[in-house]
Structure formats: C-alpha cells, structure tokens
Amino acid sequence: MNQPELVQPDAAACAPAAPPPPPAPSSRRGQLRRILEINPARAKFLFWLGFFAILAFGTFLRFWHLGLQSLWCDETATLSRVSGNFTYLLNSLWGQGFPPGWYAALWAWLQFLQYTLHIPPGMATTSVYLRTLGAILGSLNVAAAYFLARQFMTPRTALLVMLLVAVNPFLIYYSRDLKMYSALYLMVTLNMALFLRWQNGRHWIWAPLYILSGIGLIGFDLLGWFLIPVQLIFLIFKRRHRALDAPIWIFSVAVMAACTAGWYKFHSAWLDRAVVHHGRMGIGWLPRYNVINWHTVLSAPTINILGILWPIFPPSQRIIDWYELGPDYRNHFATRTLPWLAHLELYAAIFTIVLLLIGLIPWRRWLDKKPDLEQRPGKWWHVGVWIFLPTLYFALASLPASNPLSLYPHRVIWLQRYMGFMAVAWVLWLGAAIARLPGWPVRLLVGTAVSVAMLASGLTNNLICRGEPWDFINRPVIRYYNPQDHLGMYIAYSEASNHPKDDPAISLLELRHIPLQFLPVWNISNHLWYKIPRYGLLPDNPQRWLSIIHWAHVDKGLHTLVLADRMGDIHTGPLTTAAVEKQLGKQWKLVKVVRFNWYFEWQYYFYSPIRVRVFRRIAAKALP
C-alpha cells in the first residue's frame, strides 16, 4: 500500500510576516491630523479652547467702550419708556409698532440694577449700564451661531462661522444699541437652529423649545414673523415627514399669532393705525430710505457682513440730505472725506460678493475629490430662501401704494437694521463659501482676510464717533458746569434735525449722574429736566451763531458760552476764534478748545470736523 507523499512546507510560507513598511513622511498638517485622530481627548480640548476663545473675543468686542457712543434719538425714547413703573411702560407703547418683550426685559434689567445691585438711579440710566443687557445678548448670539451652523456644516466650519459672527461689525454695532435688535437677532438664530434641530432630532424636548423661542421671537420684534414663511417652505419640501411635524408647527404659529393679535389689536390698536392712518397719510421721511435700485440690493450683504453700505463715492445729493452733511458739504468736500478708504471699501465689497458667488460652486468635491459638507438638516437652498423671500418683500413693499406691485397700504422702510434678521444667514453663506474653497492654504488665506476686514470695520464701532457726538462735545464742557447755576451756561450745538433736542441734555446729565425724570408725553416742552443748562441747536450758517455771540456779550448773567460747530475748516470770517473773542469783548476768555471728526453711521469716509470752544466770563466766580 502506497504511503502518501509528504509535502514539505514552504519555508517562505512559514516565515514570520514581515513588518509593514514605515509610513511615508508626511506634512505637518498630516501629522497633526493623525495626532488628533489618535488622541480624541486632545482634539476635544482644542475644540473647546477655540470655542471659548472665540466667545470671549466676541464678548470683548461688544463690551469694549460700551458707553463711548452717545445715545441717539431712538435710544432716548427707549430710555423714556423704561424709566417709570410698569404701567407707564405699557401705556407708552400705545399706538406703537413694538411688542412689549424687549421693553419689559429692559425695564426688569433697570429694576435689577437699582434695587438688587443698589446702583444709584442716575448711574443706572447711563448708556453703559443700560446697554449691558444688549451686549450680553449679543455675546450669547456668538455661541448660538455655532449651534445654528452645526445644523448646516461640520464642527470646524461651524467654528469659522462663529468667528465671523464674533467679529461681524453689523452685529457688534447693534449689540451696543439700546433698542431690541440685539435680542431679536439672538432669537432669530436660536429659533432657526431649534427649528432645524427639531426637524432632525428624535428627542421631544426640541419641539417645546422651538415653540418658546417663537414666542420670544415675535415678543421682541414684529420682524420675527419673516422667519415663519421661510420655515413653512422648509416643511413643504422636506423629504420625510413625521406625524407631528405639521401639527406642532401649526400650534407654534397659532400661539405666536394669538400673542401678536392680542397685543396689537386689544392693547396698542397698532394694526388699525398702521393700515388706516398710514395708508391714508403715509410717512413723510420714507422716501429718504426707499430708493430701490441695484445699489440697494447689493448693499444688503455688504452691510450684514462688512458693516458698510454699498460704497457711494462721491456722495449723491440723496446721501448728503440723508446724513445731513450740510448745504456747504460740497464746498469743503476735500477736507470732509477719506477717498482712499472709500476705494478700499469698494474693493472689499466686490471681493465679498464675488466670494459669495464662488461659494455656490462645490470646488472641494470637484478638485479635492472630497465630500462637500457632511449631511445636515440645513441645506444651501434653505439659506437662499431665508435671504431671498424677505428681500423680495421689502423691495415690493417699498414701492409707492399707487404701484400695482406694492404689497402694503403704505411704503415700509428699507433700512439696514430692519433687515438685520438676515445677517446670520449671510454669515452662514460666507462661512460655507470659504469652507468650499479648494486647498487649505487658500481657505486659510481667504478666511483670515475676511475676518481681518470685518474686525477692522467692527473696531470702528469703538474707536470713532458714528452717532451724534453729544458726549464728545459735553466731556470737555462738564468741568465748567455748575448745577447750582445752570442758567449761567449756554451751549450752542450744530443742528441735526433727525435727532430730538433731548439728546444733548441727557448726555450731559449722564455725565453728572443726575437722576432723570420723565413725564408720560414724549415732548420736549413737557419734560421735567433737573437743572439743565440752556442749549440750542443752530444751523450751519453764520447768522444764528452771530446772534448767540452778540447775546452772550450783553447778558451779564451768562458765565460760560460753549460753541460746538461743524464749521471747523473755516479759517476766515466772523466765526474764527479771534473774531469771536473780539465780538465777546475783553471780559471773555477762551479756556478750552477740542477738535475731532464725526464719522457718519455706515459711511466711515464721510465726516464733519467738530470744533468745541469754551469761553468764560473773566468776572465769573470760579466754579468747581
């Protein structure tokens, strides 16, 4: 019987497996990625470090020099409404188009400052303390922006969006405003984020949070309703519907509608007044804002991203009238503009708009052979609808009532702060556009350039005066003011008719920490001011100023004359310092001169030179 042949094992097969070849040398970026993949704890630490660093930086930008800007007229009206009891607050909103949410929150904040922190009433009503609430909400919006961005993109890109929100000059500016815009923009971000999270989440908690955010949204401002049709379109075109999607959304809208109708119909009667009264009479100053053309449309992203209107240089007559640059502005054009900055803003605006358009192309998917963005409930077309629908409405509603395409009985206002609920949508688009660029060096370079441009624009909210500069005028004056002799001072300001005459007095009282007292009727003649120096708003022409100077010469009870004019580049004529001293006589002496430029809101290259001169009567007693 044949024995089976033994097969000798192959020596090569029995040899131990050779170790894998060493990895090819890689770049530093590849090594960093491998370290992060191996050590998730380190990756998590770096993520939270970046998150809180961005949040801290955004908070710093919103709090730095919070009280530097003067109160403007709308902030003054807001201060008036929250300075009494709660009944007075509700009565002050009668006939106004404002929900009570923000004013109730600001009133509660003022009560907290006075009765919990025991801050004196005069100090609690200064711009620093009152604006703190809005700055806090604006800082929270930086963190909320990450929550919203995660519904659209990866964590890394969401951090980029968070950074862009942190340095966004538009959002910084309105985080430092006493009106409801900071609260509105935060609720817009949260409501949209919770809506998308609810649509994609499995936990029941997201639905009631979405409903509560909707109540807060319309409770702060009626403009919050613009998100509702946008969300309706999201629901209609959603691929997979759950059983409770439609009922929950309908219930949320019904609650919001009941709150809105109850307030506007039964308390303020604003709906009837808006449709009937405004439809018949209109608002006279609307044409100053409602010129709809390609400049208007293209200025939307540049305002919400860069904080600038679509650059208009040299200024048209409409811009001169809008910003009240004065009838002699063109005569001094060379000394009241910054042409190089105007051109730089133009290039920045063009670059930003081109970048937004390039971002529509999935470059990384085509060139890098990588997926564009991870799958999330938020889509590109969602952001497009968020921007397009309100823009179309504002454009059509801005037409005259006689136009057949007009959507409203009277023309609504095309104004940047009213359209600010789209600011986060623009930043989402910008962040996704940068993330889609091919190659990390390109993305790093473009992201850095855009962030630096936005930061530079945002810093001007703190470094230059862009509102009526009452505080800047009053600071060198306050040392010469004596409350026991308040009639012994007269302050002549250059006139700006779009601000009420209350502003200079309020700013002066803020600096003295004197309590403010308000009467229910918003009228300068019915205000009960406490020991306010006499002041006047004078046009930028010599006649009225000469009459004040002549009156100061003959009025022996006047001890201090302050001339704060916007004619600082006039070197000859009766209003030069030497000419004024000659007209006042030897008993008057110039004791203080301050010069600075007033830069106009959203137009950094338009400014007026402000010259503040303080003249004192030599015979007057030394005042503290």
CA–chain centroid gap for 18, Å, is: 65
**Sheet of strand 588-600: strand arrangement:** 534-538, 489-494, 560-565, 603-617, 588-600
pLDDT digits (tens, 9 = 90+) for 518-555: 433 333 333 444 567 888 888 877 888 999 999 998 88
Q: 293 vs 297, 394, 396, 402, 529, CA distance in Å?
A: 7, 12, 12, 18, 45
- Structure-model confidence comparison of residues 192 and 403, the more confident one: 192
Q: Do 423 and 360 fall within a single domain? A: yes
Neighbours of 621 (CB within 10 A): 9
Structural domain for 533, as ranges: 470-617
Q: Do 452 and 591 fall within a single domain? A: no
Q: Do 190 and 298 fall within a single domain? A: yes
Domain boundary among 441, 463, 485: 463
pLDDT classification of 506: cutoffs 50, 70, 90: low
pLDDT at residue 547, rounded to an integer: 93
H-helix or E-strand containing 254?
Answer: helix 245-263
Least confident residue range of 124-128, 513-517, 520-524 = 520-524
pLDDT at residue 518, rounded to an integer: 40
Q: Do 60 and 160 fall within a single domain? A: yes
Is 27 a member of any domain?
no
- Structure-model confidence comparison of residues 225 and 607, the more confident one: 225
Is 34 a member of any domain?
no
As a whole number, mean pLDDT of residues 505-523 equals 52
pLDDT at residue 28, rounded to an integer: 54
In the chain, the number of structural domains is 2
pLDDT digits (tens, 9 = 90+) for 75-87: 878 888 888 888 8
pLDDT at residue 561, rounded to an integer: 95
User: Residue 66 half-sphere exposure, CB side, CA atoms within 13 Å?
Assistant: 20
Classify 51 as helix, strand or coil: helix
pLDDT digits (tens, 9 = 90+) for 339-386: 888 888 889 999 999 999 998 887 666 555 555 445 677 788 889 999
With a CB cutoff of 8 Å and minimum separation 6, the contacts of 133 are 105, 106, 109
Q: Which residue has the tokens 């001293």?
A: 581
Query: What tokens were used for 337?
Result: 């503009």
State the chain's mean pLDDT as an integer.
81
Q: Do 331 and 410 fall within a single domain? A: yes
Asked if pLDDT for residue 273 goes beyond 70, the answer is no
Q: Do 405 and 482 fall within a single domain? A: no
pLDDT at residue 366, rounded to an integer: 57
Least confident residue range of 158-172, 197-211, 472-486, 521-535 = 521-535
Smallest CA-to-CA distance from 176 within 290, 84, 62, 46 is with: 62
pLDDT at residue 68, rounded to an integer: 79
* C-alpha–C-alpha distance, residues 79 and 218, integer Å: 21
Query: What tokens were used for 435?
Result: 């993330």
With a CB cutoff of 8 Å and minimum separation 6, the contacts of 528 are 517, 518, 519
pLDDT digits (tens, 9 = 90+) for 560-570: 999 998 887 77
Q: Do 88 and 123 fall within a single domain? A: yes
- Structure-model confidence comparison of residues 565 and 472, the more confident one: 565
pLDDT at residue 35, rounded to an integer: 54
pLDDT at residue 524, rounded to an integer: 39
Asked if pLDDT for residue 7 goes beyond 70, the answer is no
Asked if pLDDT for residue 488 goes beyond 80, the answer is yes
- Among 6-10, 22-26, 143-147, 488-492, which range has the highest average pLDDT? 143-147
pLDDT classification of 423: cutoffs 50, 70, 90: very high
Is 8 a member of any domain?
no
Query: What tokens were used for 440?
Result: 């990390």
pLDDT classification of 331: cutoffs 50, 70, 90: confident
Q: Do 477 and 600 fall within a single domain? A: yes
pLDDT at residue 284, rounded to an integer: 58
pLDDT at residue 521, rounded to an integer: 34
Asked if pLDDT for residue 571 goes beyond 60, the answer is yes
Helical H segments across 167-244, by residue range: 169-175, 181-200, 206-220, 227-236
pLDDT at residue 527, rounded to an integer: 42
pLDDT at residue 19, rounded to an integer: 57
pLDDT classification of 324: cutoffs 50, 70, 90: confident
Asked if pLDDT for residue 587 goes beyond 70, the answer is yes
Q: Do 102 and 218 fall within a single domain? A: yes
As a whole number, mean pLDDT of residues 255-269 equals 79
pLDDT classification of 247: cutoffs 50, 70, 90: confident
Least confident residue range of 11-15, 90-94, 495-499, 507-511 = 11-15
pLDDT at residue 404, rounded to an integer: 84
Least confident residue range of 15-19, 180-184, 467-471 = 15-19
pLDDT at residue 446, rounded to an integer: 94
Q: Do 452 and 483 fall within a single domain? A: no
- Among 231-240, 327-336, 395-404, which range has the highest average pLDDT? 231-240
Q: Do 423 and 479 fall within a single domain? A: no
pLDDT at residue 330, rounded to an integer: 82
- Structure-model confidence comparison of residues 144 and 128, the more confident one: 144
Is 2 a member of any domain?
no
Q: What is the pTM of this model?
A: 0.85
pLDDT classification of 209: cutoffs 50, 70, 90: very high
* C-alpha–C-alpha distance, residues 157 and 144, integer Å: 14
Query: What tokens were used for 326?
Result: 């004065």
**Planar angle of CA 112, 116, 121, nearest 5 degrees:** 65
Asked if pLDDT for residue 1 goes beyond 50, the answer is no
Domain boundary among 414, 438, 463: 463
Q: Do 233 and 263 fall within a single domain? A: yes
Asked if pLDDT for residue 23 goes beyond 60, the answer is no
Domain boundary among 395, 430, 463: 463
Query: What tokens were used for 187?
Result: 């609720």
pLDDT classification of 516: cutoffs 50, 70, 90: very low
